[in-house]
Structure 1
Amino acid sequence: MTSAGSGRLSVPVRIEGDAGTMSWWGMQLTRVADRLDDLHTAAVLAKNLPGAGVRVTSARGDAEALLDALTADISEATLLGMVLQEYADAYERYAQPANALIDDIEVAHGEWAQSSAAADDAATLALSTVGSEWDGLAALTQNNATEAAQTRDLAWQRLSSLIAEHGEYFAQWSSAYDAALAALASAGSAGMTPEARAVFERLIGTTDPAHVRALWNEHPEMHPELIAAHPDLLGNLDGIPYDVRSTLNRGRLDAMLATEPDGDRREELEAIRRALETEGSPPPSLISFDPDGSEQVTAAIAHGDLATASEINTLVPGMNGNVGDMHAWGESARALNRAAGDGTATVVWFGYDTPNLLEEPGMGRAQDGAAALGSYLRGLSALSPAADINVIAHSYGSTTAALAIGSSSDGLGVTSLIAVGSAGFPNDDAVIANLTDGDPPRVYATVSEDDAVARIGRGTAIGHSVSPERLTDVTVFDSDGGVDSDGRPLPAATGHGALGAGAYLEPGSESFYNVAEIVRTGEPGTERDGEGSERGFWDEGNWWISDEYAFVDL
């Protein structure tokens, strides 16, 4: 976190976890290893049974086969138990104190912001009295300005000290986390050469996609061995080239569909395959695929060539979105590529567990999703450093995207954040400051006059009630019907939907036209309240809009 006068604010990250639960599982795995060791001892005795005959010989053979399997299982259970316990201890030593500091940091930041504003006001007043006929007034205001500046500086020192302390704890936790990942990787890498295992542990031990990319490019001779050993991890590791990831993920998808029984998950897997079978050049690519890592199947499909694109868009869904919708989102992605022009690629990113109606008021899904989206966006920047990166987020997706991008001091390399029918940005001063400080990303927003869902979502939110359309330096564009540059009518968004007739991202609508123009030129294509604009249910001229219920006046 830095002074508002010197740059963006970095938001401290709360580290999720439960040391008690991790310790309990560590003990259970240790017990499993002990019992397997007892079985191993019994198998040794059986292998050495005296006597002759078919049954004795068969028993010896079975015991030998069991011993071969048990050796690896005992080793893995022992390692897992040890890693979990060591990580639980590290979490308790470093993560819990770091988390405890966040509340103090937020209070200290509020005190600093308040004292900074007071110091600015005192300085302005002191300047206004310079040359006053009453010397005593000038001296008094100057003295007040000095005291206010001292109070501000003391507040900044306390805030800086707390942030530095949090950073130390966080760095120690991060090192422990990386060590745990490396240890777990070694458990699944027994068949790899020591050289390849060392590279793999470095790949998964870093949280920087640029470092992953550099390591991958430095060791082309290791690629076949690494891919053979861990296709699931490499297919989702940000920083690995997208053509490699797509090949690995498509292979995993096809293999799963060959054996997956009927049910909800098979339907989701088939939906992903249908979205990939759309004709195009290049064909859609499955750049991430995780059927087991969270409650929902998550995936991301790229339409267009990410390696050569100068404009890369990412579509982020909101409440109740799932991979079953990927084909429809893909149609919108390809239409956006055509509308924005050559050199455009668009990713449909279903990389997080979207909330249901009961979860939507909270920030839990956004916090988890922001971590995944942030890593993905850093991977884009690492692999396509020259491209403009645009995030187009619908409903709760804009809550997630705003948290991810606004929590980073560099905006994750994003050029523009476009929020359509936003469920509200996070109620976090540092996040909002990062998004509206005049540096990239540039933020754009629209909400239809007929979108009650977005307004109700903000009004009932616990943690994301900020209306982006009201923020300073946010470019607001229309979605209520207008005309394009040739005077042709553009339909309005008539509700909250992302796709389909009357939706924000329906090709041909005013909202979609403006999104495409923002990607293409940096500015919306229609005039605010211009020709063709329609008055809607929530138009601010209606009698039910008042200051008392300002959350619906957008």
Structure 2
Amino acid sequence: MASRPRTSRPRRALLAALVTASVALPVSGAARPAAVPAPVPARLAPLGTAEPSVLEARYATVRQEIRAARDMAARHGDRRRAAALTAMAAPGRAFLMFDGRDGGRGVEVFGDLSRAGRIAVLVPGAGVDLDHYGRLRRGAEALLGELGPGTAVAAWLGYRTPTTLGPSSLTAARAEGAAPGLRTFVREVRRVRPVARVSLLCHSYGSVVCARAASGLDVADIVLYGSPGTGAKDAAALGTRATVWAGRGGEDWIGRVPHMVLPLPFGTVGFGTDPVSPEFGAEVFDAGDAAHSGYLIRGSVALRGIAAIVAGTAGARHA
């Protein structure tokens, strides 16, 4: 009797992850944040300048959009969403864009964008939406605190992130859809702050988004942390002149994810080469013992390393 072809251990592990995610999806989707209604936001013109008066006018306009979404959530009976949006609409919060539909999207600025000489754009990974926005905000605030004056941090929740436990987190489909929006935002930032040093900070699945957007972007650094891979075989394949950095904390479970690409009848799953491996060719930074959601925790080794990259003071250490 002919023996069956043996499946490699990484391939079996990736298949197991896919099956687990497929089973978990209906459970995690039971209370989908996308089910909360929100109004269609007004169409905003691109920023033409970063003058304080222009930025304040934009922040005020978007604050009204958030309040309209809050009111609709309250009428729908979702007190949790309404409370979250009340906090987002508070005086002093600075959103350049907001859309409360389908889980929510938004871009919040921390620091003074009108005078920033260094700008970090945070691109989140799976599971971040309006109901879980606090962790993205806390990371942005911690990074701004580490960098100090002269810096702005933009938390870019500009796409419908995949669920943490779901097939959408194993393919590049959401990243393909997100990349044009990220590219447009970065180019707008470069246009209104042409002398600023801009860095893309890409966490987890966000590194797949950054990889899809990278080609042709005028940024100094692309930082991949907690990354499952990018879908590119190496840093050169990203098609960017930016310095590509990669880091993984010692307590990050994503280091156990198989780094391979698996073609299946319905599409391709997996993201290929490990970004912290020598084969990928990134500059590796020390992420200490960070867990998967712990890279931007105040006082952490990972936060100091990422801040040094944004500041342009990090010493390159090739993988």
- TM-score when normalising by structure 1: 0.44
Describe the superposition over 1:369-409 as per-residue Cα deviations: whole angstroms up to 9, x where unpaired: 1111111111111111111111111100111112111xx3x
Query: In the TM superposition, what are the counterparts of 1:366-385 in structure 2 within 5 Å?
Result: 366-385=175-194
Within 1, Cα distance between the matches of 2:76 and 2:153? 30
Structure with the higher strand share, 1 or 2: 2
Within 1, Cα distance between the matches of 2:223 and 2:234? 19
Structure 2: give runs of 5+ residues left out of the alignment. 1-39, 263-268
**Alignment counterpart, residue 285 of structure 2, candidates 477, 490, 493:** 477
CA contact (8 A) 2:234 2:273 kept: no
**Alignment counterpart, residue 299 of structure 2, candidates 504, 508, 529:** 508
**Alignment counterpart, residue 414 of structure 1, candidates 205, 219, 234:** 219
Provide the secondary structure at the position in 2 that maps to 1:312: strand
Change (3 A) 1:375 1:472: same
Provide the secondary structure at the position in 2 that maps to 1:260: helix
Letter in 2 for 1:508: G
Give the match for residue 446 of structure 1.
247
Change (3 A) 1:335 1:261: closer
Give the match for residue 161 of structure 1.
none
Describe the superposition over 1:241-278 as per-residue Cα deviations: whole angstroms up to 9, x where unpaired: 54333221111222332343355866345324424548
Within 2, Cα distance between the matches of 1:310 and 1:384? 8
CA contact (8 A) 1:311 1:387 kept: yes
CA contact (8 A) 1:423 1:455 kept: no
**Alignment counterpart, residue 64 of structure 2, candidates 251, 255, 258:** 251
Shift of 1:332: 2.4
Structure with the higher helix share, 1 or 2: 1
**Alignment counterpart, residue 209 of structure 2, candidates 397, 400, 406:** 400
Give the match for residue 265 of structure 2.
none
Query: In the TM superposition, what are the counterparts of 1:426-445 in structure 2 within 5 Å?
Result: 426-427=231-232, 432-435=237-240, 439=241, 441-445=242-246
CA contact (8 A) 2:126 2:169 kept: yes
Within 2, Cα distance between the matches of 1:265 and 1:431? 46
Within 1, Cα distance between the matches of 2:82 and 2:200? 25
Provide the secondary structure at the position in 2 that maps to 1:382: helix
CA contact (8 A) 2:66 2:89 kept: no
Is 1:260 equivalent to 2:73 in the alignment?
yes
Within 1, Cα distance between the matches of 2:313 and 2:244? 10
| Structural RMSD (CA) | 2.9
Provide the secondary structure at the position in 1 that maps to 2:208: helix
Within 2, Cα distance between the matches of 1:506 and 1:414? 24
Change (3 A) 1:257 1:339: same
Shift of 1:318: 0.6
Question: Highest Rg: 1 or 2?
Answer: 1
Query: In the TM superposition, what are the counterparts of 1:320-359 in structure 2 within 5 Å?
Result: 320-356=127-163, 357=165, 358-359=167-168
Within 1, Cα distance between the matches of 2:191 and 2:108? 18
**Alignment counterpart, residue 290 of structure 1, candidates 96, 99, 114:** 99
Give the match for residue 304 of structure 1.
111
Describe the superposition over 1:225-244 as per-residue Cα deviations: whole angstroms up to 9, x where unpaired: xxxxx971016x46575433
Within 1, Cα distance between the matches of 2:238 and 2:190? 22
Letter in 2 for 1:249: V
Within 1, Cα distance between the matches of 2:120 and 2:47? 17
CA contact (8 A) 1:313 1:389 kept: yes
- Identity among equivalent pairs (%): 27
Describe the superposition over 1:335-363 as per-residue Cα deviations: whole angstroms up to 9, x where unpaired: 21221132001111111011123211111
Provide the secondary structure at the position in 2 that maps to 1:348: strand
CA contact (8 A) 1:272 1:326 kept: no
CA contact (8 A) 1:399 1:424 kept: yes
Shift of 1:306: 1.0
Within 2, Cα distance between the matches of 1:454 and 1:521? 27
CA contact (8 A) 2:108 2:156 kept: yes
Change (3 A) 1:445 1:243: same
Change (3 A) 1:364 1:423: same
Change (3 A) 1:414 1:515: same
Higher RCO by CA contacts (8 Å cutoff, separation 6 or greater): 2
Letter in 2 for 1:403: R
Within 1, Cα distance between the matches of 2:189 and 2:61? 18
Shift of 1:433: 4.8
CA contact (8 A) 2:41 2:98 kept: no
Is 1:316 equivalent to 2:123 in the alignment?
yes
Change (3 A) 1:517 1:253: same
Question: Between Structure 1 and Structure 2, how many residues are aligned?
Answer: 267
Change (3 A) 1:272 1:361: same
- TM-score when normalising by structure 2: 0.74
